[in-house]
Structure 1
Amino acid sequence: MNIFATFPHSTNQRTRLPFSLLLAALFFSSASCSLAEARNSKKQSAEASQASSNEIAPVAREIPLSAATTLPRAIPASQTLKIASTPAPAAQPPVIAQLPPQVLQQGTQISLNGKTLPVAWLRWQEGNEQHFGISDTAAAWLGIELLNSSNPDIQPVNWFSDPQTSPILLKTLFRNPYRYLDLSFLAPQSNLKWQVSGETLTLTSQPAKVVNIREGQGEGGQRFVIDLDRATFWQVDEEENTATLTFTGTADPALIQRFSAQPSSEITALGKKLESVLPFLKAKLENAEAKILKVESSGSQVTLRLKIPESKHLKVSTLPNRLIVDITANAFVERAIVWQPGVIWRSQQVSVGQNRFPVTSLELDPRSGIGLRPIWGNPEGMTGTEPLVKMGRTWQAVAAINGGFFNRNIRQPLGAVRRDGRWFSGPILHRGAIAWDDRGNVKVDRLTLQETVTTATGQRLPITHLNSGYVQAGIARYTPEWGINYTPLTDGEIVVLVQNDLVLERYPGGEHGKTAFPIPPGGYILALRSNSASFDAFAPGTPVAIDSQTFPPDFANYPQIIGAGPLLLFNRQIVLDATDEKFSAAFNQEAAPRSIIATSDRGTIVIAAIHNPPNRRGPTLAELAQLTQKLGFVNALNLDGGSSTSLFLGGHLIDRDPSTAARVHNGIGVYLPPSGQ
């Protein structure tokens, strides 16, 4: 495919070519177009002459297998739903600017034909031309499908094109944390008008007319093909057993009636009376009442409502002027996108036993300057939870995955969180953890932090936990990393204030959750729980010292640590032992969505979300360990999962509907080097 460049219109910047070259280029272009038109005309005439009278359209072919479409089953020709193939418009290359783009406006909300969507957008200038774009991770909200790519600056997409022969190539522009798709190229094809009003980008497109709706069989279930007179933007909203496909368009009343007719109340009543006598009538009646597709039209919006059988999903793809709707058991689309240098976004399916698990991952290369940091819900302290999307934006991360476990009631961490060499939360129960630095060194193992407080008399008292929501009898320690205050987590605690290695004062904690005690700057609080014997060791004015060490010892050399567990892989071998890490038997056997962080033999770090295969809730820990091994990882750690599982990229979740994701306490944020901004 040739790449053309447009040049600024100012005379002092115009590129001049020899006149002979221009004539040659024009002649070659004209001859190529004429030959292509002749071939297309001859091909279409031949196909039309072979079309049988019972085909849906005179020119037809089966939908090709691709990331966007699914091959129909091998069924008799009289029953096969064929998709008429009209010549796809040639995909045009992106405009290549000579001057660096100048950002004019940006926001986080668009209005698409009157519907408001939380989508990041950008308006910028290149030369004499203005461009606009949206965050690529929100492209699916407009019905734009991202295809495989190896160049972060050019993104192939499928939008009423043929992804096999003529994908559309859109230029991208990265402005941290978003990678914007340049939609200026699509505007002429869709008669798309755009304008900026305050913080909102308003997009208006010409309604598409529904020419016909055809039914048939696709791979795995029912298929509907919606023939349109033009391309249009569309959205899908899928809930349990139902799905809604909406787009800007109009439909004839007769077509709407064909897909909305229901049996009359009299027929329904009669059928119910006779169903015991005529069993076959019951089946026909149920089929009529359970109509799969209903079509509605209001103003300039067409809505298709579909009933989705259990264990099936809606899969929507496009070809020129066609929406293809499949009700199938497997709607997952595999892809691999080089999103930025050092960041590869993958969607793939991995088989473990009889199940195929959908895996969405980001592969991160520290050698490209990619940095990772622990992040959490409340930057002012360790009490609080937030959706991962909000957390990632607060910490200005370009990507993130949920991290360790936490107490949902008190919203406090239950595992290691160490950032830039400071313990914001200590590890618990000798559970799995991952540690790393900015030089690409990574350590994965089970971790213990052992602390001891020594008094002036030489008495050494163990500290059970540091900055943790995990409660155990003994002495816990809370530093300013925990927050401004410490509020007792159990009744009857003794709160000891220490500053500059001297005990300042000790107070009765009273009822848990009631009184907030300020943590001394440069000091800490010791919380004595069910440990009255140590009360006398901390009289005001008593000198004290803290000794702290990790096991294994080299964990202390790493500035960044996140703890979760259980450990899955160590040096390519499965080392899963949930019991040793003090997880319950029920947790060990549960099937649920999972989040992991792993290392590869390529020197990269992978963060991934694994969700449900058909008829399942997700992998068990044993299946998860096998999955990570099949993916070729060297080391792998399980993170918090279930409703916490969330993977964030470029401003949006890329693994699940954000409405189904729970708030989380902490996560792992991903940062690009400054040169990538």
Structure 2
Amino acid sequence: MPLPPPPPAPVAEVRQAGQSIGSTIRIGEISQKSAWLWITGKGGSSDQLWLPLDVLTGRLGFRRTTTAAGEQLEWFGRDRRLTDLETRTLKDEVAVDALPWMRAINVSVQRRETTLELSLPSARIVSIRQGRGSTAGRVVLDLSAPALVQRDQQGLVLGVTSNRSQNNRLRRLGLSPQARQSILRLTSQGGDLDFFTLKSPWRIVMDGTQRRSVSKTRARTSPFQAARFSPEIQNAIRQGLILDSRTVQVGVKPLRIYRAGWPLGNESLLLRPLAPIRAQTGLRFLNQLAQPAKALVAINGGFFNRVRQLPLGAVRLDGVWLSGPILNRGAVGWDGPGPLLFDRLRLDQELRVNGGRRWGLGFLNSGYVQRGLSRYTRAWGPTYRSLSGEEQAILVREGRVSDQFSQAELARGVPIPRGASLIVARARAPLPAKPGDEAEIRLKVSSPVGERRQVMAGGPLLLKEGRVVLRGRQEGFSPGFLGQAAPRTVVGQDTKHRWMLTLEGQSGGDPTLLETTLALQQLGLSDALNLDGGSSTTMLIANRTVMTGRGVPPRVQNGLGFIQP
């Protein structure tokens, strides 16, 4: 049985009263954008350090795992069930109190104006191990002590020391090590590295490595330029693909825009939603969605619940609703290579029982949990597990109610057969029918957008037919969200091209939704829809992440891509 760790040393801090809010996290010499909130304890209560969950999992090596007791968060041997962790909204992100985790391994935390500084004494690499079989792309570093790791767009930056023999070993395993004082930077030919941490012994586990096939190293270029000159992208450019990055001035703000355009009517590449097919639960790196679909260029898609990892908005793929629309939010729909259709979208579902009473079904395959009735089909996944405390359900098959399920059964999980619909009643809403009743389900969309075979929703709608149509309150967005400055992801079109775009601020800060709209007008777009932004903002070209909203590749629920048919 491993010995318990020594008691943690006090966390170094700059004493301030009340709350401190910042926008940058610094580890060693690397600084990256991230919101954080420090709350000074009063009356014997502990201090709190609130960090976005996406930053912890995507950048610092925290890992989300599923156990019999539910999802949990792990970091260097400490684990907590997600349902036991208090959460709060930090700008547009879900945050948790990370200070207990930092104290558990003696991380020094300091606040200097808007920058949060994290530090640990440098650890030493004790040994390097490679996985076998299905984990052959895994490399495990055994350490003398815990070490801070952060992800940037080039790879991983580890607070460890290594010797020449170990660096050579890493090169043979497909990693490019760059050692500098007490820092080791690692990049992989295999694309983005995924990683997590363990204890007893202290370990950093990295997945996504690939053995080197050549010994020469190319001169370093920007990720965007390196991806643009890959052979498959060059071939697509010859067929009409446009890839560029430019700066647009909106008021006093210079905005950096990365965009990918494809000619309307050209079927050499197709625009497609990128989404998990077998089950909608869970988040993935964008390349994990793009690679199976053979997407040359991809951006992140619509909104999702970051804690439950469920979709919050319309995703329709090849005529199948993987997730239904919510709150009459903006959406884009299309069939073939012609013009995209933009509008706000609502899906009305109705259950008619025994040819008489009609019941409204609020949402379809959605993580948007509200009181009343919701419907789930096999597109949600083979199994449904309850998303709230009080649920009961009926199963409709071949025009009749075949089964009824209790709260306990739903908590354990019930199968959804193909062709069936699970009608879930939440918050003591009555079930509309009982086993043996005849049941007919009807659907009606509020706009022709919902009739298209491919649909992606986000919101708010920014431009339509050349007009500014930014009406965020009508789409259920809060005033705080509407006024917030953040990196943005957008899908749009002009008279000649479909466009996928990401935007971020430079010296003047990130764009608001209105500033985003004005920038798109400068580019000549006639129609545009805002997608999920902030830390979710991502553009991928030729399986290379070329832009992210917070400087690290995030996990997302769905995306959009130009794919090869």
TM-score (norm 1): 0.50
Q: Distance in 2 between matches of 1:593 and 1:657?
A: 5
Partner of 1:557: 451
Shift, 1:490, TM fit: 1.2
The structure with more strand, counted as a fraction of residues: 2
Which one-letter code corresponds to 2:215 in the other structure?
A: L
Shift, 1:557, TM fit: 3.2
Deviations 1:459-489 (A, max 9, x none): 1000100000001111100000000011111
Shift, 1:612, TM fit: 1.8
Partner of 2:370: 472
Change in 2 beyond 3 A, CA 1:439/1:557:
farther
Q: Once the two structures are aligned, what percentage of the paired residues are identical?
A: 32
SS in structure 1 at match of 2:389: coil
Q: How does 1:155-194 map to 2 (within 5 A)?
A: none
Return 5+ residue gaps in structure 2 as ranges.
Answer: 1-172, 180-184, 193-208, 226-232
Change in 2 beyond 3 A, CA 1:669/1:235:
closer
Return 5+ residue gaps in structure 1 as ranges.
Answer: 1-107, 121-134, 138-196, 206-231, 238-315, 317-335
Partner of 2:182: none
Q: How does 1:214-363 map to 2 (within 5 A)?
A: 233-234=219-220, 339-363=237-261
The answer as to whether partners of 1:423 and 1:481 remain within 8 angstroms in 2 is: yes
The answer as to whether partners of 1:415 and 1:426 remain within 8 angstroms in 2 is: yes
Q: Distance in 2 between matches of 1:477 and 1:402?
A: 26
Partner of 2:420: 523
Query: Do residues 576 (structure 1) and 470 (structure 2) align?
Result: yes
The answer as to whether partners of 1:112 and 1:202 remain within 8 angstroms in 2 is: no
Partner of 2:491: 597
Q: Distance in 1 between matches of 2:259 and 2:535?
A: 17
SS in structure 2 at match of 1:423: strand
Partner of 1:455: 353
Q: Distance in 1 between matches of 2:439 and 2:350?
A: 10
Q: Distance in 1 between matches of 2:474 and 2:387?
A: 26
The answer as to whether partners of 1:492 and 1:511 remain within 8 angstroms in 2 is: no
The answer as to whether partners of 2:534 and 2:550 remain within 8 angstroms in 1 is: no
The answer as to whether partners of 1:110 and 1:202 remain within 8 angstroms in 2 is: no
Deviations 1:574-618 (A, max 9, x none): 11011111101110010000000001111x1100000122141x1
TM-score (norm 2): 0.60
Higher relative contact order (CA 8 A, sep 6+): 2
Question: What stretches of structure 1 move > 4 A for 4+ residues in a row?
Answer: 108-116, 234-237
Q: Distance in 1 between matches of 2:471 and 2:253?
A: 23
Shift, 1:116, TM fit: 6.4
**Bigger CA radius of gyration:** 1
Partner of 2:67: none
Deviations 1:136-192 (A, max 9, x none): x9xxxxxxxxxxxxxxxxxxxxxxxxxxxxxxxxxxxxxxxxxxxxxxxxxxxxxxx
Q: Distance in 1 between matches of 2:408 and 2:537?
A: 37
Change in 2 beyond 3 A, CA 1:457/1:234:
closer
1:613 to 506, 509, 512: 506
Change in 2 beyond 3 A, CA 1:443/1:508:
same
1:118 to 188, 193, 207: 188
Partner of 2:60: none
Partner of 1:290: none
SS in structure 1 at match of 2:359: strand
Shift, 1:118, TM fit: 2.5
Which one-letter code corresponds to 2:471 in the other structure?
A: D
2:215 to 187, 203, 206: 203
The answer as to whether partners of 1:477 and 1:527 remain within 8 angstroms in 2 is: yes
Deviations 1:281-326 (A, max 9, x none): xxxxxxxxxxxxxxxxxxxxxxxxxxxxxxxxxxx9xxxxxxxxxx
The answer as to whether partners of 2:287 and 2:540 remain within 8 angstroms in 1 is: yes
Shift, 1:340, TM fit: 4.4
Q: Distance in 1 between matches of 2:443 and 2:240?
A: 36
Shift, 1:380, TM fit: 1.7
Query: Do residues 668 (structure 1) and 565 (structure 2) align?
Result: no
Shift, 1:457, TM fit: 4.5
SS in structure 2 at match of 1:339: helix
The answer as to whether partners of 1:501 and 1:523 remain within 8 angstroms in 2 is: no
* Equivalenced residues, count: 363
Query: Do residues 652 (structure 1) and 550 (structure 2) align?
Result: no
Which one-letter code corresponds to 1:576 in the other structure?
A: L
Change in 2 beyond 3 A, CA 1:510/1:348:
same
Query: Do residues 371 (structure 1) and 263 (structure 2) align?
Result: no
Query: Do residues 622 (structure 1) and 520 (structure 2) align?
Result: no
Shift, 1:659, TM fit: 5.8
Q: Distance in 2 between matches of 1:660 and 1:468?
A: 27
Partner of 1:482: 380
Shift, 1:637, TM fit: 0.3
Q: How does 1:94-173 map to 2 (within 5 A)?
A: 117-119=187-189
Change in 2 beyond 3 A, CA 1:659/1:635:
closer
Q: Distance in 1 between matches of 2:363 and 2:175?
A: 47
Deviations 1:326-374 (A, max 9, x none): xxxxxxxxxx987341311010011100111000000112422121111
Shift, 1:661, TM fit: 2.8
Query: Do residues 632 (structure 1) and 510 (structure 2) align?
Result: no
Change in 2 beyond 3 A, CA 1:473/1:455:
same
Shift, 1:236, TM fit: 8.9
Q: Distance in 2 between matches of 1:626 and 1:509?
A: 49
